[in-house]
Amino acid sequence: MEGKLPFAPTRCGGIEFRWGERTYVMGVMNVTPDSFSGDGVGDDIEAALAQARHMASEGVDIIDVGGESTRPGSAPVSVDEEIRRVVPVIERLASEISVPISIDTYKSEVARRALEAGAKMINDQWGLKRDPNLAELAAERGVPLVLMSNQRDKGGYDASIQRDTADYEDVMAEVTSSLKTSMELAVSLGVPQENVIIDPGIGFGKTWQQDLEIIQRLGELRELGRPILVGPSRKSLIGKVLGLPVSDRLEGTAAAVAIAIANGADMVRVHDVQQMVRVCRMSDALIRREQDGS
């Protein structure tokens, strides 16, 4: 079986991601008061612990803790405030559950404190564009690093129409190029290639039509030779297609997750863990049978 894996396994704390065997599920935990999905736990550590235990019981593989909202138009928070939000939660989770914790931040000082508190992965939504020191930190601590393609610095956010807006000749070429640049920087700063995971950045500086195109063309990212993380959960592309609010996008998320897996996703970042674990298992049964020789 080892020879059939598309990439070398990635060690994350006490577990190993064996890419190609199945799709891994990253659960979203927002310790913010203004999450776009409406499920932020704020500074309630007990609520965060209860949510984490619930995710663990539902089969989550890793929990991604974020202390700054990523919704379009949201105001950034200070390093100190972000640390105040995430560190106590990570300390508690790391001491009481066995599922590894990821820190969702683009600030190296926040990531450093999070790793000291027990986090085992860094999820950088800016792909080192904002703070290249994250790569040096990931190399120093030997933890996986997720690099996301974020085009908000190019496309921006148009408040008058309440959506990301960008103009590309070829959105997938832009995403691939930005991820390649981020990967090369990470490796040059000491991150082992097997510790790099790439994310095309659904909803970050792309229109909803471009997000759909990215999921359809996801397989093109295979040329970069790294496992792919995709986060379509409850995103605006689902709201635009189905005409539904954030609270009613479960089925749309399930469809996006299944098609992403069919097109090459190795990990999905989701809010509704139990349902998406089931979608992943069924998708894997259909898609990976030929891959694993079943």
Instruction: Express each pLDDT in 76-109 by its tens digit.
Output: 899 999 999 999 999 999 999 999 999 999 999 9
Confidence tier at 164 by pLDDT (50, 70, 90): low
Query: Could you tell me which of 83, 93, 82 has the C-alpha nearest to residue 27?
Result: 93
The pLDDT of residue 165: 57
Could you count the other beta carbons within 10 Å of the beta carbon of residue 2? 7
255 within some domain: yes
34 within some domain: yes
Query: Could you tell me which of 23, 18, 213, 25 has the C-alpha nearest to residue 102?
Result: 25
Task: Give me the chain's average pLDDT, please.
Answer: 91
Known catalytic residue: 120? Answer: no
4 within some domain: no
58 within some domain: yes
Helix 208-216 and helix 250-262, axial crossing angle in degrees, nearest 10 = 40
Sign, Cα dihedral of 210, 216, 222, 226: positive
Q: Is the pLDDT of residue 290 over 80?
A: no
**Count of domains in the chain?**
1
- Averaged pLDDT for residues 45-58: 96
- Give the pLDDT confidence of 170-215 residue by residue, as tens digits: 999 999 999 999 999 999 999 999 999 999 999 998 999 999 999 9
Q: Between vectors from CA 292 to CA 288 and to CA 293, what angle results, nearest 5°? A: 115
Q: Is the pLDDT of residue 4 over 80?
A: no
Known catalytic residue: 269? Answer: yes
113, 120, 235, 249: which is the annotated catalytic residue? Answer: 235
111 within some domain: yes
- Averaged pLDDT for residues 246-269: 98
Q: Is the pLDDT of residue 157 over 50?
A: no
- Residue 75 CA to residue 203 CA, distance in Å, equals 17
22, 269, 278, 281: which is the annotated catalytic residue? Answer: 269
Confidence tier at 42 by pLDDT (50, 70, 90): low
3 within some domain: no
What six digits make up the tokens of 70? 């990523």
294 within some domain: no
Domain that holds residue 44: 23-287
> What CATH number does the domain containing 202 carry?
3.20.20.20
Query: Could you tell me which of 20, 19, 1 has the C-alpha nearest to residue 288?
Result: 20
15 within some domain: no
| Mean pLDDT comparison of 38-42, 92-96, 159-163, highest-scoring range | 92-96
